[in-house]
Chains A and B, each alone.
Chain A
Amino acid sequence: RKEVEQDPGPFNVPEGATVAFNCTYSNSASQSFFWYRQDCRKEPKLLMSVYSSGNEDGRFTAQLNRASQYISLLIRDSKLSDSATYLCVVNPGSARQLTFGSGTQLTVLP
């Protein structure tokens, strides 16, 4: 089983739609969680951290369920500029390294 698993998609949604991505992780001792965004042929960039109580940043909402070991990202009122690959990222434990999911590809259509 992979340490971090994501639905690869692709997700093709119309502008204005709400879309949700899920991610599961295998290490119950995982400490910290993030969503990164990667545009085509670019480097990954931090979208948002994921906190235990859930957090929101504008149109983006992240949730963490430790009991079920999954993380979610909700994008409301999607824009064309949201088209990218979204990477679920987990710090698996006391060590510093981050483990990346394989990414979920989103295309927002006009």
Chain B
Amino acid sequence: DAGVIQSPRHEVTEMGQEVTLRCKPISGHDYLFWYRQTMMRGLELLIYFNNNVPIDDSGMPEDRFSAKMPNASFSTLKIQPSEPRDSAVYFCASGFGYSPLHFGNGTRLTVT
């Protein structure tokens, strides 16, 4: 199994641009999570899905952030428009039932 796959690994963009982060969970996992990590705030849960349905998006910072999971093997996190304070490492993680989560390598986003 290839594990959770995220792309791109690095993204540098200018303020105001749209950013799309992608995630392929481990096959068979029914939960998918998007986390954001910064030095100041640590790991924060943004949103999670169960069987492709968003369950809790209370961690999404504001309307500029949106996430979708059109099928069991793909999810996107979109930021439009991006701002410098969105700079962080964004992790996608998947899990089955209540088993521990498996994280992807993360996308390091820099907004200038």
Contact = CB atoms under 8 A, between A and B. Distances in A.
B22 to A, nearest CB: 15
B98 A87 contact: no
A102 B103 contact: no
A32 B98 contact: yes
Contact of A96 (B42, B91, B98, B106): B98
Given A87-B43, A100-B43, A43 B103 contact: yes
B52 interface: no
Identify whether the interface residues of B are mostly helix, strand, loop, or mixed. strand
Contacts, number: 41
Contacts of A46: 100-102
Interface residues on B, range: 20 to 34
A43 B106 contact: yes
B56 interface: yes
A34 interface: yes
A10 B100 CA distance: 26
B104 interface: yes
B60 interface: no
10 tightest CB-CB pairs across the interface, nearest first? A43-B103, A102-B42, A100-B43, A46-B100, A44-B103, A97-B45, A43-B106, A43-B105, A97-B48, A34-B100
